[in-house]
């Protein structure tokens, strides 16, 4: 009897279950793995897994479901003060997830069975809007340690109480040799006023033995917010390596001259709250920075404010600035650079050019040479409105990419008003006419307020794009829901303790300035956006040609209608897409809770599945023993009011017998 097939099946089973450590580690090191938050270090969110195709995706079915137990464990009050935004990674035969409360769970990627759990035991005293969140973790392998040794493979967890924690990737036990018994506390110059004003939520990045992390800082509470310093540590020991403050405190820094009247002393934020990417071969780390504090008033920080609202590229080994480009000068619109950069190769005139692509909230796509920062498509500085409030400082121009890389309208007029009925449209038309309105760079004002053609949740957000290198396409989901920003004189702000959220919008204090700020969506009397749909889209961009290949609405209103039927007007969305070699793009993100698959070539919707809870996350995929799995983490989202849940859901084609 030939026992070879039986032996091979046993070996395959051992590989799948993760019992052969060295082989399991090798199995995920190839193109069919998802070993990093963004799929790979370049942040492409693309997989070479190709079993699932447009031809067979109709057979896609649930493979397994795992519940983290956080709903029961934490209680509804804490769950409602959290956002589930995690993308798992595949580590040595285990699927690693983190919950909003910094609980790390290792699952068998084939069965969904729990292997081990680590709880960072963060405080549950964070109050709205200082919510609990964990977007992802990062792994690192110590090539100087023996295979299978404790913490030779480690997972670095960012926490809501501003720590980096190193745990063993095989057991979930702390790595005592990292920092103080496994933890590094992020140092602060300007101390947070309460737990959660500054926290870590996005996955750090690692290159050449250095771990780099940004932070999230409470938006728009005070001008003198905590500093948005990016920190780098030795990934083996936790010893500090370097730090970079996007606000140039050193007068000798060339960027300091873009901060007038000593304004750097009373300004904070400009932090990197989204996800960074790295080019380890070139020793480069790419930082998307946010606006300086506060968001909607810049009178206390005159000047263009470099390196805020910029793409900044540093040497990973030293923190030295290599190049930078500011996407928004003197940002008073909360146009943070929130979308992660993505590293791609551009084909032009027979030449392959290393590039970095940066999407923005305005719906702009900027493309640069990865090594020099030279724009690969022209960027024009265009004049922008200058009618700010007394005491405000305004940049005279703002950078615009070529028209083919502007994914959304830059201006909205009363004639553009939209509504479900004549009365609805008339209400929108009157509302738009009543607002200060000169395009997406209209300065905030008092009175009726200013219309932002793309609000601070518009365009591309933290979910980021995916890039299919075979089809030469970048896929990115965008929002198209304008906002109204109104400055509130200090004497009228009242007692709001930092922020007040209700059904009408958000009021923030902007302490240390003459004004608070109110943020509201531009909605019709019937509660719909006043702009023509789609309000959410999935867009495919040909980066070699610098133009849109296709675009489709993302999301349906059927569950908001008296008589449910599929009405694909697109909905607000948050999360991101992934692409696969099989020609399928997967995305959740839309508020209708449908997980969808599209043809990467054409944008045709191929499949959808109603998820058990909110899906404000980015999925991931992997292929083990010839079977491809697609995984989505579901749960509540603080601002979308998504259905509560705590499930991790995996899909696959039916097992072949």
H or E, element range at 628: strand 627-633
Phi, psi of 70 (to 5 degrees): -70, -30
HEC assignment per residue over 39-75: CCCCCCCEECCCCCCCCCHHHCEEEEEEECCHHHHHC
Half-sphere exposure of 471 (CA within 13 A, CB side): 26
pLDDT value at residue 215: 97
Which stretch of DSSP H or E encloses residue 357?
A: strand 351-359
- What CA–CA distance (Å, rounded) separates 361 from 455? 8
Q: Can you give the pLDDT at residue 309?
A: 98
- Read off the DSSP letter of residue 446: S
Tens-digit pLDDT profile for residues 132-153: 999 999 999 999 999 889 999 9
- Give the separation between CA 654 and CA 657, rounded to whole angstroms: 9
pLDDT-derived band at 126 (thresholds 50, 70, 90) equals low
When pLDDT is cut at 50, 70 and 90, the band that residue 31 belongs to is very low
Residue 454 CB burial class (10 angstroms; 0-12, 13-18, ≥19)? buried
Q: Is it the case that residue 86 has pLDDT exceeding 50?
A: yes
Structure-token pair, residue 75: 């209680």
| CATH code for the domain defined by 141-624 | 2.140.10.10
pLDDT over 90 (residue 560):
no
Q: Are the C-beta atoms of 309 and 395 separated by less than 8 Å?
A: no
Q: What is the pLDDT of residue 128?
A: 52
Pairwise pLDDT comparison (265 vs 364), residue with the higher score: 364
The string of DSSP letters for 554-614 reads ----GGGSSS---------B-S-EEEETTSEEEE--BTT-EEEEEETTT--EEEEEE-SS-
Residues 406, 364 contacting (CB under 8 angstroms): yes
CA end-to-end distance (rounded Å), the chain: 22
Section 598-611 average pLDDT: 97
Q: So where are the chain's domains?
A: 141-624
Residues 334-359 have a mean pLDDT of 97
Give the residue numbers marked as catalytic: 334
Closest CA to 289 of 303, 302, 306, 301: 306
What is the distance between the alpha carbons of residues 152 and 156, in angstroms, rounded to a whole number? 12
Residues contacting residue 448 through CB under 8 Å, at least 6 positions apart: 434, 435, 436, 484, 486
User: Which pTM does this prediction carry?
Assistant: 0.93
In this predicted structure, what is the pLDDT of residue 131? Answer: 84
- Cα–Cα distance measured from residue 275 to residue 134, given in angstroms and rounded to the nearest whole number: 12
Closest of 652, 639, 653, 655 to residue 84, by C-alpha: 639
Nearest to 505 by CA among 470, 456, 462, 469: 456
Residue 381 CA to residue 275 CA, distance in Å, equals 27
Mean pLDDT of the chain, nearest integer = 91
Residues β-bridged to residue 157: 165
Which of 492, 337, 525 lies closest to 417, judged by CA?
A: 525
d(CA 483, CA 431): 12
Identify whether the C-beta of residue 479 lies closer than 8 Å to the C-beta of residue 461. Answer: yes
Return d(Cα 468, Cα 573) in angstroms, integer: 21
Residue 299: how many CA atoms within 13 Å on its side-chain side?
A: 17
Q: Between vectors from CA 567 to CA 46 and to CA 526, what angle results, nearest 5°?
A: 115
Alpha carbon distance 521, 533 (integer Å):
15
pLDDT digits (tens, 9 = 90+) for 450-489: 999 888 888 999 999 999 999 999 999 999 999 999 999 9
Tell me the average pLDDT across 527-553.
Answer: 96
What are residue 351's DSSP bridge partners? 348
Q: Are 396 and 383 in contact (CB under 8 A)?
A: yes
pLDDT of residue 506: 87
Contacts of 214 (CB under 8 A, 6+ apart): 200, 202, 228, 230, 271, 272, 273, 274, 276, 287
Helix (H, G, I), strand (E, B) or coil at 258: helix
- Per-residue pLDDT at 23 exceeds 60: no
């Amino acid at each position: 009897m030939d026992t070879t097939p039986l032996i091979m099946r046993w070996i395959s089973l051992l590989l799948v279950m993760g019992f052969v450590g060295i082989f399991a580690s090798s199995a995920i090191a190839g193109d069919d793995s998802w070993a990093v938050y963004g799929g790979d270090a370049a942040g492409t969110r693309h997989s070479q897994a190709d079993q699932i195709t447009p031809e067979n995706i109709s057979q896609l079915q649930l493979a397994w479901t795992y519940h983290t137990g956080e709903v029961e464990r934490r209680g509804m009050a804490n769950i409602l003060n959290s956002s589930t935004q995690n993308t798992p990674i595949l580590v040595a035969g285990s699927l690693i997830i983190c919950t909003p409360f910094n609980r790390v769970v290792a699952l068998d990627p084939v069965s969904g069975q729990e292997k081990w759990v680590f709880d960072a035991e963060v405080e549950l005293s964070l109050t709205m809007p200082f919510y609990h969140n964990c977007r992802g973790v990062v792994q690192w392998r110590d090539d100087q340690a023996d295979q299978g040794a404790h913490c030779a493979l480690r997972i670095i967890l960012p926490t809501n109480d501003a720590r980096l924690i190193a745990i063993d990737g095989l057991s979930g036990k702390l790595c005592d040799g990292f920092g103080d018994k496994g933890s590094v506390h992020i140092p602060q110059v300007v101390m947070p006023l309460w737990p959660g004003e500054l926290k870590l939520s996005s996955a750090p990045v690692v290159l050449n033995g250095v771990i780099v992390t940004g932070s999230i800082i409470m938006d728009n509470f005070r001008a003198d917010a905590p500093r948005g310093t990016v920190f780098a540590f030795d990934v083996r020991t936790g010893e500090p390596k370097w730090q970079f403050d996007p606000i140039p405190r050193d007068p000798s820094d060339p960027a300091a001259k873009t901060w007038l009247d000593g304004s750097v002393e009373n300004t904070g934020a400009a932090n990197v709250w989204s996800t960074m990417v790295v080019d380890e071969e070139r020793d480069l780390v790419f930082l998307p920075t946010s606006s300086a504090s506060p968001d909607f008033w810049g009178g206390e920080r005159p000047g263009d404010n470099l390196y805020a609202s910029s793409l900044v590229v540093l040497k990973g080994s030293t923190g030295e600035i290599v190049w930078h480009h500011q996407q928004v000068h003197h940002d008073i619109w909360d146009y943070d650079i929130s979308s992660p950069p993505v590293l791609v190769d551009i084909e032009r005139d027979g030449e392959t050019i290393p590039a970095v692509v940066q999407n923005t909230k305005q719906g702009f796509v900027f493309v640069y040479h990865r090594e020099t920062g030279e724009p690969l498509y022209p960027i024009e500085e265009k004049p922008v409105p200058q009618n700010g409030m007394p005491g405000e400082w305004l940049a005279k121009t703002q950078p615009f990419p070529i028209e083919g890389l502007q994914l959304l309208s830059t201006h909205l007029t009363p004639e553009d008003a939209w509504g479900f009925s004549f009365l609805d449209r008339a209400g929108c038309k009157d509302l738009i006419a009543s607002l200060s309105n000169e395009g997406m760079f209209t300065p905030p004002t008092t009175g009726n307020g200013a219309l932002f053609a793309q609000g601070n949740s518009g365009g591309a957000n933290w979910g980021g794009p995916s890039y299919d290198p075979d089809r030469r396409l970048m896929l990115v989901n965008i929002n198209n829901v304008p906002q109204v920003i109104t400055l509130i004189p200090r004497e009228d702000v009242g007692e709001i303790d930092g922020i007040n959220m209700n059904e009408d919008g958000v009021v923030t204090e902007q302490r240390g300035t003459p004004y608070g700020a109110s943020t509201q969506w531009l909605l019709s009397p019937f509660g719909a956006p006043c702009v023509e749909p789609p309000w959410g889209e999935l867009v495919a961009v040909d980066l070699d040609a610098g133009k849109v290949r296709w675009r489709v609405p993302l999301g349906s209103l059927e569950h908001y209608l008296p008589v449910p039927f599929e009405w694909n007007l697109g909905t607000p969305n948050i999360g991101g897409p992934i692409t696969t070699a099989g020609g399928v793009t997967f995305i959740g993100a839309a508020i209708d809770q449908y997980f969808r698959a599209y043809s990467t070539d054409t944008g045709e919707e191929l499949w959808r599945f109603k998820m058990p809870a909110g899906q404000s996350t980015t999925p991931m995929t992997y292929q083990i023993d010839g079977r491809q799995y697609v995984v989505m983490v579901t749960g509540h989202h603080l601002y979308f009011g998504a259905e509560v849940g705590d499930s991790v859901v995996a899909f696959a084609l039916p097992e072949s017998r």
